[in-house]
Amino acid sequence: MGKEIWKPGNMLYPLPVVMVSMADRDGNYNIITIAWAGTVCTDPPMVSISVRPERYSYSILRETGEFVVNLTTRHLARAADYCGVKSGRDVDKFQTLRLTPVEALRVKAPLIGESPVNLECQVKQVLELGSHSLFLAEIVAVHAEDAYLDEQRRFHLEKAEPIVYSHGAYLLCGEQIGTFGYSVRRKPRKKGGKSGN
C-alpha cells in the first residue's frame, strides 16, 4: 500500500459546519455557512472563521465586528448548504429558509433559533492571509438548547445529530469510541485480582 504525492492544499478533514449569522449596520440579517472555523483559545474563549473578501458577508463582518456561530445538525443540513451557495445580496436567508432569528444578549447579530448551540462573538483581530481573511473573535455568550441536558446538567450534543464537512460532503458524526483520557485511564480493579494497565 502506497501514498500519492499531491500538490499542497487544504486537506484537514473533516471540518465543522457552522452557520454564521450577522446583522449589518441597518439591522439586515444574513447567514453564511463556513467550514473553515475553529477553536483558538480557552482563556479568553476564542474562535476563528475564515472568509473570502469577495463574499457579501465579509464587509458586514468587517464593519460590525460581531457575529454568531450556530452549530448545525442533520435537521439544518439543507439550510447550511443553501447558506453556503446563495448570496445574501440576492436573498433573505432567514425568510427563505423559515429560520427563526433570536435576539442575542451581547451582540446585535441574531442567533438561529433552530441551532442547538449559539456562540455570540466579538471580533478582536482580522488577519489578511491571501485568498481568505481570518477573523479571530472572543466568545462573549453561549446559548445551549436545554432539551439536550441530562439530569446532571451534562450537555449531549450528539443527540442533536451534529454534522461535519469532508471533501464536498456533509456527514453525520459517528458513534462514540472513547472519551478524553481513556487511553491512559486505569482499568477498574477486579475483585480479588490485580488492577491491569
Q: How many percent of the chain have pLDDT more than 90?
A: 85
Query: Three-class SS of residue 30?
Result: strand
CA distance 89 to 98: 18
Domain with 130, as residue range(s), is 15-172
Whether 3 is covered by a domain: the verdict is no
pLDDT of the residue at 179: 87
- Torsion sign over Cα 100, 45, 52, 12: negative
Mean pLDDT along residues 166-185: 90
Whether 197 is covered by a domain: the verdict is no
CA distance 125 to 94: 28
The answer on pLDDT for 197 being more than 70 is no
The answer on pLDDT for 154 being more than 90 is yes
Whether 142 is covered by a domain: the verdict is yes
CA distance 188 to 190: 6
**How many domains is the chain built from?**
1
**Residue 117 maps to which CATH number?**
2.30.110.10
- Provide the H-helix boundaries in 37-76: 56-64
Whether 100 is covered by a domain: the verdict is yes
Whether 141 is covered by a domain: the verdict is yes
Which of these, 29, 100, 86, 97, lies nearest to 60 by C-alpha position?
29
**What's the whole-number average pLDDT of the chain?**
94
CB-based burial label for 79 (10 Å; 0-12, 13-18, 19+):
buried
Mean pLDDT along residues 156-164: 95
pLDDT of the residue at 193: 56
Whether 193 is covered by a domain: the verdict is no
Amino acid, res. 197: N
The answer on pLDDT for 62 being more than 60 is yes
Grid cell in block for residue 76: 439544518
Whether 196 is covered by a domain: the verdict is no
Mean pLDDT along residues 18-33: 97
Strand 66-71 relative to strand 117-128, pairing: antiparallel
pLDDT of the residue at 194: 55
| Contact of 35 with 16, CB cutoff 8 Å | yes
DSSP of 95-162: HHHT--EE--SSSSSPEETTSSEEEEEEEEEEEE-SSSEEEEEEEEEEEE-GGGB-TT--B-GGGG-B
- Model confidence, pTM: 0.91
pLDDT of the residue at 176: 84
Whether 8 is covered by a domain: the verdict is no
Q: What is the pLDDT of residues 67-118, one digit of tens each?
A: 999 999 999 999 999 999 999 999 999 999 999 999 999 999 999 999 999 9
| Contact of 112 with 119, CB cutoff 8 Å | no
Mean pLDDT along residues 42-55: 97
